[in-house]
Structures are given as structure tokens and as C-alpha cells.
Structure 1
Amino acid sequence: MDAPIRKHNATDEERFWAKVDKSGDCWTWTAAKTNGYGVFRIKPRNMVAHKVSYIWAHGPVPKGYEVDHMCFNRSCVNPAHLRLLTHQENGQNRTGANTNSKSGVRGVYWAQGQWIARACIGPKTILVGRFDDLGEAERAITEWRIEHMPVSLRDRRRRVSGPLADA
């Protein structure tokens, strides 16, 4: 395989966009990645590629905010798929259950012979309820997050198209 042709006088923008596949709705970063996130070097440091894309399209990221992927694709750099959230808000938009979860459902745990549905907002833990049925616990915690965690896009999308839509 031939080495890529490098333009010595290329601007940062030219170098950046040469590493992006825009063939789909998500614009996929095709170069170096760490944990699925694109990495781009702008002297003197490396930056996550989606943040670079956001800054070029929308301006600087204010202190206390993070750039979130609304598409849930870590390698996407499409500015239309990116938004600003606080760290706490970004955490509300998590993918799913912890890896050690026995239920496989985010926020639902087995304890004392029942499924316990709990949610965390910042330092607070809220008991949503105790359930005999895992499906009921999942519906309750998801509906709670939709009402109390407005940036949780995954729950909202799941309600529209997933098993909760039929409930």
C-alpha cells in the first residue's frame, strides 16, 4: 500500500477534512482514534476531532461544557450532530447499563428479591420504585429519565421506536 500523499503547505482545515468520510449522515473520522474518538493534531497538541469540528462550525466551547454526539457515534465529526452539554448532562445521555449489571438495564438492579429502579442526578440518587417484573422496572426508569433528564436523547428515541412504544 502506498503512503498517503501529503501536501506540505496544507492548512489545518485541509488536513482535517482529508481525514473525514462524508459519504453518510455521520461524517466519519478515518484517521487516528482513541476509545473511538478521532484525534487530530493542531500544534502544539492533540485534540479530539469532534471538538475541532464543533469549534470551527460554532465557535469556542465555553468553560464547563463538553461537545456531545447526538448521533452516539464517537467517530462522527458532522457539526450538525454535535451539541454542547455540561458534564452532568452528558452523563445523562449514557449508552446503557454498567458492565456488571445483572439486569442489563441502566438504572435497574436486583436486590432483596425485587428489581430496584434508581436514577442519579449529580450527587442525588432517586428511588423510582421496586418491581417484581424487569420490564416494568425498565419502563418506569426510562419514563422517569425522559421526564427528569431532558437531554437523554437515547431514552426519547427508544420510546418512539422501541419496545416502550408498544407498552
Structure 2
Amino acid sequence: MKNIRTPLTEAVVQSLCAGDEVLLSGVIYTARDAAHMRMLENLDHLPFDLKGQIIYYSGASPTRPSKAIGSCGPTTSGRMDEMTPKLLDLGLKGMIGKGDRDASVISAMCRNDAVYFIAIGGAGALIADSVVENTVIAYEDLGPEAVKKMVVKDMKLIVAIDATGKSLYKK
């Protein structure tokens, strides 16, 4: 198990291999389909600096009493594939979701030293236990698809596709 922190550096990304289990701590951002479309329409006014950051493809349920967030499991990453290469080219270093990625995303990951992590679908309540803080920072009108800044501690993930393009899905 590797302990890593955000923001991700090239050295950290290059040290990760497909199949590695990690505990992630630090700031991550949530964004799904609608938020990705808005970000691409407004590249000059992004809600956060992409450099070294991770986007978690998740739309959390309402916050539970005494918790930072409700259940927050991953959504299918392929829905963002068309929009992801541009964000990687602008400095995004990591993504968290579930499911395989298409060739254009993997090519952009290799070109930009980025990594794709998977979280276990159906385990949203357990994942929520690693969320320490949760704040909507953009596109509040999108409800569960608003961009959120989350602080996580020891979020359990698996490297699905590393910066060389090696993939758990291709074994």
C-alpha cells in the first residue's frame, strides 16, 4: 500500500504502476458530465487550477448528520472520455472513477504523465468515511453534479491505468 498526497507531482505519478493499492490524502475535486461540459466551455475561468490535481467522478448524496458528506461512490468514467484529454493537456494529473478509459484518454495520460485510479463501485458509504471536508465551489445549480472541493484522508484506491498506459483492463 502506497501513501500519496495531492497535489500529484510527476515523480509520484511515475512511481505508480497499474495494480498498486494507494491511500490518497489531500484535496481532490468532484466533477461529472455536466461540470466537465461547463469547464470546457469556460477554459479561461476554470473553478480550480488543474495543475497536479485529481478529479473524482462522483455525485455525492446529501450530507449525513455529523459527517462531511453522504455516500459518494464513483460513476462510470467513460462518460467523461470525450472531454478528458483537454483537461489532461491543461495539467490534470489524476482521475478517480470506475470502468475502463478509451484510447484517447490513455494517450493523453501518457503524454501528460497522469494516472487513473479506480474506487470500488457500490462502496460509496465506505468511501465517504475518508472525506474530511466537502465544499461546493462551482456550478451549484447542477446539484449533485456541482464541482466540489473535498479533503480526503486515506482514501483507498487502486491504480487502474498508469502513466505508461499499462492497464488492469488489458490483462
- TM-score band, normalised by the shorter chain? under 0.3
Q: Which has the larger radius of gyration?
A: 1
TM-score, normalised to structure 1, is 0.22
TM-score, structure 2 length as denominator? Answer: 0.22
